[in-house]
């Protein structure tokens, strides 16, 4: 800093104010100092600055999934499911302009203690938490640490924490309405896991709308949000209810698997059976035919999570806040 100050012809204190973004510095002086920083190759000592600011300028994206018999399959889903990639991209886009780094931490209950210890040690300033399963204890543990946190989707337990979600029930209603408008009359659904709010809300939103439209019974089978799960669920569902002509699948990955099964069974889409997914992820464009789906704006939701988290970091006493985005229907070829 002394070298920068000498090169710019200013005091060391002025250099410090420029580095820390103080608004009181004259624009011309700021430009001189920044030019001197570039010329000297000076890089602020992040560790030293963190001792003063008590900030790490890092945020953790913790992805908590239920226990898996095969840990490789758990990690494979984390890094191949389009949903998680979209969350990461959206959060990064909001954090990068503030020079805040995102640390991605996948975990299941077997190593929650390691995650809690890492967070307690102050490596990050806050947490973006993806945790949806009913029995997951991590949201409560993070809450009890007192570290700023925002959860993706409504928490399963009543915790005073901010969260960002999409109107899941409305999204499922849009799918049901579209299938009926197409003329489908024997409707069914492959739901998501029913121990998470999104899976249950999408199933109930679909069924409730169809009940209001006069459908007393809507066949359903529970899936697991994977392609393989969609394939097997569709096979089982069609074996029990071969007359189905309209199918809502609770996420795009399962819908992609279901379309493979329908092709194997010789069912034409959408002529014999119309299919609607949920997410509008890259998987929807991998489907053949291209998948009609309910769009949840995941990137925008993740960016909002990051913005809410930064507000909590800046003002730790803020009350929890919830933000709900609206879904929309993207019509393609499958319905």
Give residue 277's pLDDT.
Answer: 97
Q: CA distances (Å), 84 to each of 88, 262, 286, in order? A: 6, 27, 17
List % helix, strand, coil for the chain (3-state, nearest 5): 50, 15, 35
Domain ranges of the chain: 2-44, 58-166+298-325, 168-295
Give residue 51's pLDDT.
Answer: 47
Residue 190 has pLDDT above 90, yes or no: yes
The reply to whether 58-166+298-325 and 168-295 are identical in fold is: yes
How confident is the model over 30-59, as pLDDT tens digits?
899 888 888 888 776 654 555 455 667 899
Give residue 71's pLDDT.
Answer: 46
CATH architecture classification, 168-295:
3-Layer(aba) Sandwich (3.40)
If you average pLDDT over residues 204-216, what whole number do you get? Answer: 95
Q: Which stretch of 21-30, 261-270, 315-324 has the lowest confidence by average pLDDT?
A: 21-30
**Angstrom distance (rounded) from CA 123 to CA 327:** 35
How confident is the model over 137-168, as pLDDT tens digits?
888 888 888 899 999 988 877 788 999 999 99
Give residue 187's pLDDT.
Answer: 97
Give residue 185's pLDDT.
Answer: 94
Structure tokens at 326: 């609206």
Give residue 280's pLDDT.
Answer: 94
2-44 classified as CATH 3.30.1700.10: no
8 A C-beta contact, residue 203 and residue 226: no
Place of tokens 């053949």: 288
How confident is the model over 67-109, as pLDDT tens digits?
554 445 666 666 777 888 899 999 999 999 888 999 998 887 6
Q: Which stretch of 69-83, 90-104, 193-207, 272-286 has the lowest confidence by average pLDDT?
A: 69-83
58-166+298-325 classified as CATH 2.60.40.10: no
State pTM to two decimals: 0.78
The backbone torsions φ and ψ at residue 295, rounded to the nearest 5 degrees and listed phi first, read: -90, 125
Give residue 15's pLDDT.
Answer: 87
Residue 65 has pLDDT above 90, yes or no: no
């Amino acid at each position: 800093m002394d070298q920068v100050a000498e090169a710019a012809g200013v005091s060391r204190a002025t250099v410090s104010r420029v580095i820390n973004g103080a608004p009181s510095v004259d624009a011309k002086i700021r430009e001189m100092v920044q030019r001197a920083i570039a010329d000297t190759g000076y890089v602020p000592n992040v560790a030293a600055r963190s001792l003063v600011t008590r900030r790490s300028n890092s945020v953790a994206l913790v992805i908590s999934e239920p226990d898996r018999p095969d840990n490789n399959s758990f990690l494979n889903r984390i890094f191949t499911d389009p949903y998680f990639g979209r969350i990461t991209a959206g959060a990064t886009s909001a954090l990068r302009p503030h020079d805040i780094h995102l640390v991605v931490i996948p975990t299941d209950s077997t190593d929650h203690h390691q995650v809690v210890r890492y967070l307690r040690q102050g490596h990050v300033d806050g947490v973006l938490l993806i945790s949806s399963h009913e029995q997951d204890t991590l949201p409560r543990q993070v809450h009890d640490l007192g570290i700023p946190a925002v959860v993706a989707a409504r928490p399963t337990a009543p915790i005073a924490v901010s969260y960002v979600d999409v109107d899941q029930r409305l999204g499922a209603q849009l799918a049901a309405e579209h299938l009926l408008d197409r003329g489908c009359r024997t409707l069914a659904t492959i739901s998501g896991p029913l121990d998470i709010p999104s899976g249950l809300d999408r199933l109930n939103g679909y069924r409730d709308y169809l009940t209001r439209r006069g459908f007393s019974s809507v066949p359903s089978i529970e899936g697991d949000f994977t392609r393989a799960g969609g394939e097997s669920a569709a096979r089982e569902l069609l074996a029990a209810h071969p007359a189905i002509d309209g199918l809502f699948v609770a996420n795009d990955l399962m819908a992609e698997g279901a379309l493979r099964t329908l092709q194997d069974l010789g069912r034409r889409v959408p002529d014999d059976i119309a299919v609607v997914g949920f997410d509008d992820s890259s998987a929807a464009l991998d489907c053949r035919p291209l998948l009609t789906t309910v769009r949840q704006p995941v990137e925008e939701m993740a960016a909002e999570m990051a913005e809410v988290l930064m507000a909590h970091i800046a003002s730790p006493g803020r009350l929890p806040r919830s933000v709900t985005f609206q879904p929309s229907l993207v019509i393609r070829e499958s319905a």
